[in-house]
């Protein structure tokens, strides 16, 4: 078999080398440009690798943080999500315990009918939480004397009576709270999208 006698192509400009430098791989005048291009390529590759590494590190940091996040923090995050859902659900309604209407321009809270301390089993239950004004919630501890009859009228005796049967102590563990947060977070985002 005859070995090709054609001169090499220049790595930079891809033109064939002149006959007298047939086995060379770069024109002298192409060397600088080729080196510069090569270095640039290396830089891009390094930057890309650094970005990938940073991404892995961020994920790892997040995972470590989540792993040591105390249960109280998970509880608070879950409660915050549920409270937002309640305020969106009740956006068209006034306070659950007084006559302040939906257009009252103070701060709205989410008020538990049965307190978290008294009924841990329904601390996240949507029948048990309703939008209330900050005045009832902060200064009258929910104003239960008004809250109870008003919420009976709103959601019905059956649901309210059921809430009052929920007296078992429930300690939501972290695994439960993680899952709950994921599911309810999705629900909240859907509601926020619809209401915006
Ligand atoms: Zn060249
Ligand atoms: Zn109120």
Q: How far is the C-alpha of 134 from the C-alpha of 12, rounded, in Å?
A: 72
Cβ-based neighbours of 196, under 8 Å, separated by 6 or more:
none
Ligand nearest to the CA of 107: 2
Q: What local confidence, expressed as pLDDT, does residue 46 receive?
A: 97
Query: How many residues are present in the chain?
Result: 196
Distance 106 CA to ligand 2 centre (A): 10
Interval 8-31: pLDDT, tens: 999 999 999 998 998 999 999 999
Q: How far is the C-alpha of 125 from the C-alpha of 3, rounded, in Å?
A: 83
Ligand nearest to the CA of 10: 1
**E strands, the chain, where?**
108-112, 129-133
Distance 113 CA to ligand 2 centre (A): 13
Average pLDDT in the chain: 92
Distance 14 CA to ligand 1 centre (A): 6
**Residues 44-67: what's their mean pLDDT?**
93
Distance 7 CA to ligand 1 centre (A): 12
Q: What local confidence, expressed as pLDDT, does residue 49 receive?
A: 97
**Residues 36-41: what's their mean pLDDT?**
95
Distance 31 CA to ligand 1 centre (A): 8
Cβ-based neighbours of 85, under 8 Å, separated by 6 or more:
126, 184, 187, 188, 191
Distance 30 CA to ligand 1 centre (A): 5
Q: What local confidence, expressed as pLDDT, does residue 4 receive?
A: 60
Q: How far is the C-alpha of 163 from the C-alpha of 124, rounded, in Å?
A: 12
């Amino acid at each position: 078999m005859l070995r090709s006698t054609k001169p090499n192509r220049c790595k930079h400009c891809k033109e064939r080398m002149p006959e007298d430098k047939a086995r060379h791989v770069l024109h002298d005048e192409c060397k600088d440009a080729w080196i510069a291009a090569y270095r640039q390529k290396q830089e891009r590759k390094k930057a890309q690798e650094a970005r990938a590494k940073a991404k892995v590190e961020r994920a790892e940091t997040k995972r470590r943080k989540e792993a040591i996040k105390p249960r109280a923090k998970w509880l608070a995050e879950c409660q915050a999500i549920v409270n937002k859902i309640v305020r969106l659900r009740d956006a068209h309604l006034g306070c659950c315990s007084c006559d302040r209407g939906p257009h009252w321009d103070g701060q709205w809270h989410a008020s538990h009918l049965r307190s978290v301390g008294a009924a841990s089993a329904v601390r996240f239950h949507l029948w048990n939480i309703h939008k209330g004004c900050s005045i009832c919630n902060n200064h009258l501890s929910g104003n239960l004397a008004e809250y109870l009859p008003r919420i009976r009228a709103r959601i019905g005796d059956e649901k309210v009576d059921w809430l009052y049967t929920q007296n078992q102590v429930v300690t939501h563990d972290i695994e439960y709270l993680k899952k709950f947060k994921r599911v309810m977070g999705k629900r909240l985002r859907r509601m926020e999208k619809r209401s915006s």
